[in-house]
A = this chain, B = another copy of it.
Amino acid sequence: MTGTAAARSLAVGVDLGGTQVRTALMRADGELLARAAERTDLAGGPRAVVGQISRLVAAVTQDVAPEHLAGVGVSSPGPLDNVAGVVLSISTMPGWVDIPLVAWLTEALQRPVVLENDGVSAAIGEWRHGAGRGLSDFVYVTVSTGIGGGVIAGGQVLRGRRSMAAHIGHMTTQPQGETCTCGNQGCWEAQASGTAFGDRARRELAGRPDSALATIGAALDGRHVMDAARAGDALARDLVAHEAAELGLGIVNLLHIFSPQAVVIGGGVSAGFDLLQAGIAEQVRRRALPPFRDVPVVPAALGPNAGLVGAASLVLAA
């Protein structure tokens, strides 16, 4: 049976990010058997990072017989061309322009390699082994530095022209709102990302020096606000309510547009999902048509591993 599809029941997932390169060996059931990570060698550029990935893949597969390994799936920031296997650009990683990552890694690893956008990878991870398991239609939203995501519609990954679908963070939810990094006013991510949440906290704090948040100083970010809200701080609770309302606006739009069976929320901000849930639900109740109001909005199940699990799943499904 050596070399049959059944025997190739392991895959490596790689999560390429601007801070870390993370890899894991995954079993077909989604279990992660071994992990390795390094700080991303930004200064070394793409060739150095390909070297890092190769070493990390070797580290997590050292005990694996070659005939058991189906291949390597890479989740990467975009935009990228997942068919050609080329990273078109990564704004946070200098020198990453038109990098034929799949070709380079295939040569280095002598294994099948697939490349997928990080939002889509995470959506696939949650679909195959997380909060979206068994669903044919759901939207995955990741809320951290920005807002990204991926959509499963009719049992298929929504890709669109140039695989650029699901740029959900750049839908405009407040046309007269905050200026986004993209230049537009009121993109969802300019209103509701983790970055926007932290920025708003620092602004509001100026008028509320009584808040516990005042002791934190310039490092104040969304996590501090979540912690302070849990401890009952009034400003922090107002900020969480505002964040939930901004998140809810975009979620209401996704409900009407996709009619998903669920909306799954991941990313750093989802660590405070329990605090945000009531405010999101209130926005849905206020703004969604009645038949959309009972759609579950739930936290992601795989945390920071969603992208890596999704990328590895792609290799096993292929």
Contacts and interface: CB of A to CB of B under 8 A. Distances in A.
Number of copies: 2
Interface stretch (A163-171, A193-201, A213-221, A302-310): A163-171
A184 interface: yes
Given A158-B154, A160-B137, A253-B253, A170 B259 contact: no
A292 interface: yes
A188 B143 CA distance: 25
A286 interface: yes
A165 B184 contact: no
A210 to B, nearest CB: 29
Interface stretch (A6-14, A21-29, A102-110, A172-180): A172-180
Contacts of A167: 256-257, 259, 289, 292
A185 to B, nearest CB: 8
Given A153-B153, A173-B175, A289-B182, A160 B253 contact: no
Contacts of A172: 173, 249, 252-253, 287
A231 interface: no
Interface residues of A, number: 42
A292 B164 CA distance: 9
B295 A256 contact: no
A158 B258 contact: yes
Interface string A275-305: 0000000000011110110010000000000
Contacts of A165: 137, 153, 257-259
Given A154-B159, A174-B175, A295-B161, A168 B257 contact: yes
A222 interface: no
Nearest to A135: B161
Nearest to A291: B164
B260 A160 contact: yes
A54 interface: no
Nearest to A169: B256
B253 A166 contact: no
Interface of A: 79, 137, 153-154, 156, 158-168, 170-175, 182, 184-185, 249, 252-254, 256-261, 286-289, 291-292, 295
Given A137-B161, A159-B259, 11 more contacts: A137-B159, A153-B153, A153-B154, A153-B165, A161-B260, A161-B295, A162-B291, A165-B258, A170-B288, A171-B256, A184-B288
